[in-house]
């Protein structure tokens, strides 16, 4: 018996030339909520995949509950009591909710045959742990990311685990669900179960964690109890620089044109009667709960859906977009929340992903001008400090946060009039968040109209001059952010 | 299962089209629901249906197998020519053919599972290879069927006679084999962890590996199973036709894959059911065999099968797109 549930010593893992882990240590005590923090691409998900037996480390040792494993397999890790909620969720899109919840459990108890009755029992039990309601017969591919995340969470909590690893489990779910999850974590902790928690949301990690380990570029930079750490210190360890956020100041210029105006726009099962406008240089926030219609509104402006009624004006001219191409041609850019589904070609190169919107411009006659593309890509990789191995590697090799930066780069490379960012900093580290904020402010200063859709109240307050509140398909309120405090705005967005 | 969910299933539509087609033929010709016609159809369905079961497993796992006709032909040709007259029971012929098929399937499986080459390329290559081996080493001429298998070919489950015309057809025992194989396929895919693992791997290979599924082993199993079945089916085919023709199965892969896709089996893996594959195969067989009853010359049958495939897969693509575009916001009335 050991007092540590896990002890990782000097683990190295290289992917080709990328040193994802370059000799890191990680010790988690029993009954401890341990936060693993660090910038995007510092190796958090990689160490998690090593502990779960999915990656074989190049060197180093892993000890689970005092037992050292030379070549850990996923099956062994599960048997040893390690459960993981992966960053990419690892659910099965083609199977029903019931089966998703039950199959891993049944697999690890080495069942050879399927029993519908047991499936049912396991699934119900899983949902009850976090008080989550959903149709068990629905196929997971038809669910929202939030629901998928909740499925991944409830599936992991089912086990009689000794260590539950959560790799950014709260990126899509709402505050209420986060609260439920935290209650469960505290309950687990009382039973002596350890939790390894990864999240880029500072308030969350400071609320729940007892102990911190911070990585930077595959190395350890800090390990210690939460009470010895302040947010500023934490940021410093993580990024190696000091960050001070300044609120956005909108310089209202006389005669600033209205760029985009939306009048009485309605879409069945999406939103109803939405009207708003945005001027050059403004950053407009739209906040509201998940499922309030905010994404549908943005997608309609971007030409994904066709509105049932209402009008959209761009620079005073009414526009009708039949598809996304029309909207892009008119100068509208949209960064979607589900980047790996809508925003990126995961199996194409990083370079292609960033430059794809500009291919028409990067030409020499009928040939592609590779050197111009390279310059473009280098520029944006530098500007957003995207951490990549090689621009010709596939998108899949990037860490979650760096992939998000690539989506941004792709749109920023275009010459736009309106840029809509939907959840632009979900899963992005604080340093990068800061960079993205600064960049949007710079773009707004140059006259771009920016719309930020976000449920991060702080983000909206710091970066927008105006905020719209959306509730159940309606735009219910509009506020200037100056003088508005977090509490008021957060209450406004959840009221009813 | 609720009605709403039922109507979302491809199987449901294929079944409806199938029934509609039967009725149409019956109304136009009056000859559809006659015992001999039904028996004829079941007979033509036997071989494609068995192939479809093996193929759909491969498709569900996210692969594709284009080599089963070659495997079937080579195993069948080997046992019928090299072991001609050696046994009086048909069983050894089947066993040896299955073993040969299993080995050839294992080669496919190993290359695909271990080196992660695209299954399509590997199995197309393997297909040429085995046909080449057969023609180069064993020859490719017709050959009289060995007596044990000939006798099996004469065995029948029942005879369907048309009272009006006096025509009759026999339903060979092989149809019984096909039914058993379909049931085995259904059982593996739905009732065993192995089968659910095939779906899991087809849905998300990484997630499956993380859940503790043996991805390599499962892929090996699928290709070995498909190979062994191909060997078995090859011998069935020869004994049903009562002659050894090494070339008449070649080219069947496309029809079988098309039938699976028509029945709702996804080409990118993860989706499909045994019922769907059987219905898809039934529809294709039905169209190919019943045009004559509608007064359409048989030369047009390929055109019709082609149309059905294009329309059928087109419809599922459109459905998929609509599914992705449905919105779910609960808009309040204010
Ligand atoms: N399969 C892979 N092939 C090549 N490189 C990889 C692979 N997986 C990860 N990497 C690289 O390893 C580094 C660490 O990635 P990892 O996913 O562990 O980051 P992370 O700390 O989880 O970041 P985030 O906060 O963005 O999720 C990154 O630079 C990434 O590009
Ligand atoms: Mg990560």
Q: Which two tokens stand for residue A300?
A: 């309609």
Average pLDDT, chain A: 89
Whether the CB of A387 sits within 6 Å of ligand 1? yes
3-state DSSP call for residue B111?
A: helix
Query: Does residue A244 lie in a domain region?
Result: no
3-state helix, strand, coil in chain B (%, to 5): 70, 5, 25
- Does the pLDDT of residue A183 top 80, yes or no? yes
Close Cβ partners of A254 (under 8 Å, ≥ 6 residues apart):
none
Chain B partners within 8 Å of A113 (Cβ): 191-193
Residues paired with residue A265 on neighbouring β-strands, in sequence order:
A274
Angstrom distance (rounded) from CA B39 to CA B45: 10
Cβ atoms of A26 and A8 closer than 8 Å: yes
Q: How confident is residue A1, by pLDDT bands cut at 50, 70 and 90?
A: low
CA of A157 to the centre of ligand 1 (A): 25
Query: Does residue A250 lie in a domain region?
Result: no
CB A328: neighbour CB atoms within 10 A? 18
Angstrom distance (rounded) from CA A45 to CA A60: 17
Whether the CB of A20 sits within 6 Å of ligand 1? yes
- Does the pLDDT of residue A493 top 90, yes or no? no
Q: Are residues A83 and A172 in the same domain?
A: yes
Query: Does residue A247 lie in a domain region?
Result: no
Q: Are residues A326 and A439 in the same domain?
A: yes
Cβ atoms of B80 and B238 closer than 8 Å: yes
CA atoms within 13 A on the CB side of A259: 23
Distance from CA of A161 to the nearest CA of B (A): 14
Residue B278, judged by CB atoms within 10 A of its CB (0-12, 13-18, 19+), counts as buried
Q: List the beta strands (DSSP E) in A72-119.
A: 82-85
Query: Does residue A189 lie in a domain region?
Result: yes
Ligand index nearest the alpha carbon of residue A389: 1
Question: Which among A251, A249, A231 is positioned nearest to A239, based on CA atoms?
Answer: A231
Question: Which among B261, B275, B247 is positioned nearest to B320, based on CA atoms?
Answer: B261
Distance from CA of A234 to the nearest CA of B (A): 32
Q: Are residues A363 and A476 in the same domain?
A: yes
Q: How confident is residue A85, by pLDDT bands cut at 50, 70 and 90?
A: very high
Query: Does residue A139 lie in a domain region?
Result: yes
Q: How confident is residue B127, by pLDDT bands cut at 50, 70 and 90?
A: very high
Q: What percent of chain A has pLDDT over 90?
A: 50
CB proximity under 8 Å: A 277-306 to B: 291-293, 296, 305
Encode A124-141 in three state secondary structure.
HHHHHHCCCCCCCCCEHH
What pLDDT sits at residue A430?
86
CATH classification of the domain holding A28: 3.40.50.300
Q: Which two tokens stand for residue B65?
A: 């197998």
Structural domain range at position A82: 4-239
DSSP state of B9: -
How open is the CA angle A24-A26-A30, to the nearest 5 degrees?
A: 170
Question: Residue A270 and residue B327: Cβ atoms within 8 Å?
Answer: yes
A53: left (phi over 0), alpha (psi -120 to 50) or beta: left
Question: Residue B210 and residue A474: Cβ atoms within 8 Å?
Answer: no
What pLDDT sits at residue A339?
61
Cβ atoms of B110 and B220 closer than 8 Å: yes
Nearest to B329 among A52, A93, A296 (CB): A296
- Domain ends where: A178, A204, A239? A239
Q: Are residues A223 and A268 in the same domain?
A: no
Q: Are residues A159 and A262 in the same domain?
A: no
- Domain ends where: A239, A273, A290? A239
By residue count, chain B amounts to 334
Question: Residue B210 and residue A90: Cβ atoms within 8 Å?
Answer: yes
Residue of A95, A167, A271, A291 to mutate, testing the B interface (most B Cβ within 10 Å of its Cβ): A95
Domains of chain B, CATH where assigned: 3-333 (1.10.3470)
The values of phi and psi at residue B120, to 5°, are -60, -50
- Does the pLDDT of residue A341 top 90, yes or no? no
The structural domain count of chain A equals 2
CA of A399 to the centre of ligand 2 (A): 5
DSSP state of B25: H
pLDDT digits (tens, 9 = 90+) for B153-192: 888 888 888 878 878 888 999 999 999 999 999 999 999 9
- Does the pLDDT of residue A335 top 80, yes or no? yes
CA of A231 to the centre of ligand 2 (A): 21
Q: Which region among A253-262, B70-79, B273-282, B312-321 has the lowest average model confidence (pLDDT)?
A: B312-321
- Does the pLDDT of residue B20 top 70, yes or no? yes
Q: Which two tokens stand for residue B208?
A: 């499956």
Q: Are residues A217 and A79 in the same domain?
A: yes
Query: Does residue A245 lie in a domain region?
Result: no
Question: Which among A119, A120, A124 is positioned nearest to A107, based on CA atoms?
Answer: A119
Atom of ligand 1 at shortest range from CA of A198: 25
Question: Residue A90 and residue B330: Cβ atoms within 8 Å?
Answer: no
Cβ atoms of B66 and B252 closer than 8 Å: no
Q: How confident is residue A342, by pLDDT bands cut at 50, 70 and 90?
A: low
Residue bearing the bigger pLDDT, B97 or A440: B97
pLDDT digits (tens, 9 = 90+) for A121-171: 999 999 998 888 899 999 998 888 888 989 999 999 888 889 999 999 988
Average pLDDT over residues A403-422: 85
Query: Does residue A252 lie in a domain region?
Result: no
Q: Are residues A156 and A211 in the same domain?
A: yes
- Does the pLDDT of residue B203 top 80, yes or no? yes
For chain B, state the CA radius of gyration: 21
Q: Which residue has the tokens 């309030």?
A: A292
End-to-end alpha carbon distance in chain B:
36
Q: Are residues A45 and A161 in the same domain?
A: yes
Nearest to A104 among B5, B211, B332 (CB): B211
3-state helix, strand, coil in chain A (%, to 5): 35, 25, 35
Q: Are residues A288 and A396 in the same domain?
A: yes
Q: Are residues A485 and A347 in the same domain?
A: yes
Residue bearing the bigger pLDDT, B130 or A372: B130
Residue of B60, B194, B327 to mutate, testing the A interface (most A Cβ within 10 Å of its Cβ): B327
Chain B partners within 8 Å of A293 (Cβ): 329, 331
Average pLDDT over residues B96-120: 95
Residue of chain B whose alpha carbon sits nearest to that of A270: B329
Q: What percent of chain A has pLDDT over 70?
A: 98
pLDDT digits (tens, 9 = 90+) for A356-397: 878 877 777 788 888 888 888 999 888 877 888 888 888 888
Q: Are residues A231 and A331 in the same domain?
A: no
Chain B partners within 8 Å of A271 (Cβ): 329, 331
CA of B315 to the centre of ligand 1 (A): 39
Q: Which residue has the tokens 């019928």?
A: B80
Q: Are residues A400 and A307 in the same domain?
A: yes
Angstrom distance (rounded) from CA A26 to CA A28: 7
pLDDT digits (tens, 9 = 90+) for A18-31: 899 999 999 999 99
């Amino acid at each position: 018996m050991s007092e540590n549930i896990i002890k990782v010593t000097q683990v190295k893992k290289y992917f080709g030339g990328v040193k994802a882990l370059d000799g890191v240590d990680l010790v988690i005590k029993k009954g401890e909520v341990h936060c693993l923090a660090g910038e995007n691409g510092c190796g958090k998900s990689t160490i998690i995949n090593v502990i779960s037996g999915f990656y074989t480390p190049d060197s180093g040792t892993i000890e689970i509950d005092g037992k050292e494993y030379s070549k850990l397999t996923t099956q062994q890790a599960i048997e040893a009591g390690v459960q993981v909620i992966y960053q990419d969720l690892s659910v099965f899109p083609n199977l029903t909710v019931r089966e998703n919840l039950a199959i891993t459990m049944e697999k690890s108890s080495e069942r050879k045959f399927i029993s519908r009755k047991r499936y049912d029992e396991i699934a119900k039990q899983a949902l009850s742990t976090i008080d989550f309601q959903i149709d068990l017969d629905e196929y997971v591919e038809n669910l929202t990311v939030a629901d998928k995340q909740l499925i991944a969470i409830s599936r992991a909590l089912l086990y009689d685990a000794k260590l539950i690893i959560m790799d950014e489990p709260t990126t899509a779910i709402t505050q209420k669900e986060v609260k439920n999850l935290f209650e469960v974590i505290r309950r687990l902790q009382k039973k002596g179960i350890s939790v390894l928690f990864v999240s880029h949301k500072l308030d969350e990690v400071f609320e729940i964690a007892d102990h911190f380990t911070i990585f930077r570029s595959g190395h350890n930079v800090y390990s210690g109890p939460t009470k010895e750490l302040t947010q500023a210190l934490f940021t410093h360890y993580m990024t190696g620089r000091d960050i001070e956020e300044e609120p956005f100041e909108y310089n209202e210029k006389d005669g600033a044109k209205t760029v985009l105006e939306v009048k009485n726009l309605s879409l069945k099962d999406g939103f109803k009667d939405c009207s708003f406008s945005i001027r050059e240089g403004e950053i407009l926030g739209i906040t509201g709960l998940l499922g309030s219609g905010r994404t549908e509104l943005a997608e309609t402006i971007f030409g994904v859906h066709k509105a049932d009624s209402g009008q959209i004006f761009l620079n005073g001219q009414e526009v009708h977009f039949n598809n996304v191409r029309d909207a892009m041609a008119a100068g509208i850019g949209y960064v979607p929340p589900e980047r790996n589904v809508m925003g990126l070609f995961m199996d194409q190169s990083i370079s292609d992903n960033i430059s794809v919107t500009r291919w028409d411009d990067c030409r020499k006659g009928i040939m592609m001008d590779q050197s111009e593309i390279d310059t473009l890509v280098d520029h944006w990789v530098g500007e957003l400090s995207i951490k990549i191995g090689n621009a010709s590697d596939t998108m899949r090799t990037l860490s979650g946060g760096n992939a998000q930066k690539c989506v941004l780069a792709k749109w920023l490379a275009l010459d736009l009039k309106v840029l809509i960012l939907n959840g632009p900093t979900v899963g992005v580290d604080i340093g990068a968040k800061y960079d993205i904020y600064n960049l949007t402010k710079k773009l707004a200063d140059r006259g771009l109209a920016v719309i930020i859709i976000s449920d991060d109240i702080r983000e909206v307050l710091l970066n927008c001059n105006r905020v719209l509140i959306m509730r159940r398909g309606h735009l219910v309120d509009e506020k200037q952010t100056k003088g508005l405090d977090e509490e008021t705005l957060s209450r406004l967005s959840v009221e009813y | 299962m609720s009605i709403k969910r039922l109507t979302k299933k491809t199987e449901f539509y294929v079944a409806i089209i199938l029934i509609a087609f039967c009725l149409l033929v019956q109304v136009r010709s009056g000859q559809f629901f006659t015992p001999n016609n039904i028996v004829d159809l079941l007979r033509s369905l036997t071989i494609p249906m068995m192939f479809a079961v093996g193929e759909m497993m491969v498709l569900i796992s996210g692969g594709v197998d284009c080599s089963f006709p070659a495997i079937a032909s080579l195993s069948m040709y080997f046992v019928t020519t090299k072991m001609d007259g050696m046994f009086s029971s048909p069983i050894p012929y089947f066993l040896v053919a299955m073993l040969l098929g299993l080995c050839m399937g294992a080669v496919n499986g190993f290359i695909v599972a271990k080196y992660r080459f695209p299954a399509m390329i590997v199995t197309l290559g393997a297909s040429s290879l085995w046909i080449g081996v057969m023609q180069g080493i064993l020859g490719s001429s017709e050959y009289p069927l060995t007596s044990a298998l000939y006798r099996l070919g004469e065995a029948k489950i029942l005879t369907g006679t048309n009272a009006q015309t006096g025509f009759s057809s026999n339903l060979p025992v092989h149809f019984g084999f096909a039914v058993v194989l379909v049931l085995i396929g259904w059982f593996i895919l739905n009732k065993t962890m192995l089968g659910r693992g095939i779906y899991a791997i087809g849905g998300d290979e990484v997630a499956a590996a993380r859940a503790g599924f043996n991805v390599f082993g499962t892929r090996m199993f699928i290709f070995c199973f498909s190979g062994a079945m191909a060997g078995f089916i090859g011998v069935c085919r020869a004994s049903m036709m009562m002659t050894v023709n090494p070339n008449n199965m070649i080219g069947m892969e496309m029809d079988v894959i098309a039938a699976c896709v028509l029945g709702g089996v996804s080409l990118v893996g993860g989706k499909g059911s045994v019922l769907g594959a059987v219905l898809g195969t039934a529809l294709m067989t039905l169209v190919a065999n019943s045009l004559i009853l509608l007064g359409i010359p048989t030369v047009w049958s390929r055109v019709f099968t082609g149309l059905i495939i294009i329309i059928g897969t087109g419809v599922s693509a459109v459905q998929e797109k609509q599914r992705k575009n449905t919105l779910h916001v609960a808009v309040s009335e204010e």
